[in-house]
Amino acid sequence: MNWKQGGLERAGPVDRSGQAPDREIMGGFLKGLAVIEAFDRGREALSIAEVAKATGLDRATARRCLLTLQRIGYAEMEARQFRLTPRILRLGFAYLAATPLPRLVQPYIDRLSDSTQESCSVAMLDDTEIVYVARASQRRVLSVSLNVGSRLPAYCTSMGRVLLASLPEDEARAILDRSERRKLTRHTVTDLEALMEILRKVGRDDFATVDEELEIGLRSIAVPVRNARGRVMAALNVGAQAVRVDLNDMVAGFLPAMRQAQSDVARLLS
């Protein structure tokens, strides 16, 4: 992720969201975070030049960031290639330890997974992607393994659509507009206006279904996870193999239990 994109460089005076002015922002820290985010699936090891290209930083800055990460044990270098070390997980674990939602929802998705005999997950929105924060797995329904911390595009996932539908329409449109809306299967909806219409329906129905848009053979259904004040905090889904569960059966069979979990969790979240 380019350090000037995706919220890593947001300037201006303090606004209603409490955003800080330029003079209060540590540019070096932003650049270091951008370097960390340059590493992902398919880019586990990167050279200085590759990090510079991925982040938009000059090579000298990218080099200093990488050497700093290496000095404090967050990265290692071999044959001119840098890779992150397991120590970087401390950053994610710090968030999970400080955030009650994953701990609170886990018993409920465990129960939901047992009752449906399908895998259940909870995710939160991070710009154009969803990030898994809790998971109860019955069987592998995707070709890739999903765990806490896994990321998927928001535009073509049931949880992503639930979360996008909870936003003001102009904000959801902006996120979709900057998303890399690739046609992952022949069923994937990529047209911006078509997706906006889907989000409007999701908002009215208060749930979303996705039928083989992310991957052939996968169907899923999701509902929003709200706090006691009605604010959408995350999304909860059930995913199943298409050969075993019809989409209409998912709605009829799974949605009532998901609504119960949705209600139970809302009472716990302030």
Given the structure tokens 């969201």, which residue do they identify? 17
Supply 167's token pair.
């936003």
Same structural domain, 203 and 111: yes
Same structural domain, 61 and 118: no
Residue 16 lies in a domain: no
Q: Which of 64, 90, 116 is the last residue of a domain?
A: 90
Residue 125 is part of a domain; what is its CATH number? 3.30.450.40
pLDDT digits over 138-192, tens only?
765 555 678 888 899 999 999 999 999 999 999 999 999 999 999 999 999 999 9
Same structural domain, 261 and 143: yes
Predicted local confidence at residue 64, as pLDDT: 93
Residue 27 belongs to domain spanning: 22-90
Same structural domain, 125 and 244: yes
Query: What is residue 211's three-state secondary structure?
Result: strand
Cα separation of 250 and 219, whole Å? 9
Same structural domain, 124 and 253: yes
Residue 12 lies in a domain: no
Same structural domain, 72 and 132: no
Same structural domain, 138 and 248: yes
Predicted local confidence at residue 21, as pLDDT: 76
Predicted local confidence at residue 14, as pLDDT: 37
pLDDT digits over 59-116, tens only?
999 999 999 999 999 899 988 899 988 888 777 666 666 667 888 899 999 999 999 9
Residue 10 lies in a domain: no
Cα separation of 233 and 221, whole Å? 17
The helix/strand count (H/E) of the chain reads as 9, 9
Same structural domain, 120 and 81: no
Supply 118's token pair.
């399908």
Residue 176 lies in a domain: yes
46 forms beta bridges with 82
Residue 164 lies in a domain: yes
Same structural domain, 124 and 188: yes
Q: Which of 90, 121, 141 is the last residue of a domain?
A: 90
Residue 166 lies in a domain: yes
Same structural domain, 45 and 170: no
pLDDT digits over 249-260, tens only?
999 999 999 999
Tell me how many domains the chain contains.
2
Residue 186 lies in a domain: yes
Residue 244 lies in a domain: yes
User: Residue 216 pLDDT more than 80?
Assistant: yes
Same structural domain, 42 and 168: no
Closest CA to 203 of 174, 167, 157: 167
Cα separation of 50 and 59, whole Å? 9
Same structural domain, 135 and 232: yes
Residue 27 is part of a domain; what is its CATH number? 1.10.10.10
Q: Which of 90, 118, 141 is the last residue of a domain?
A: 90
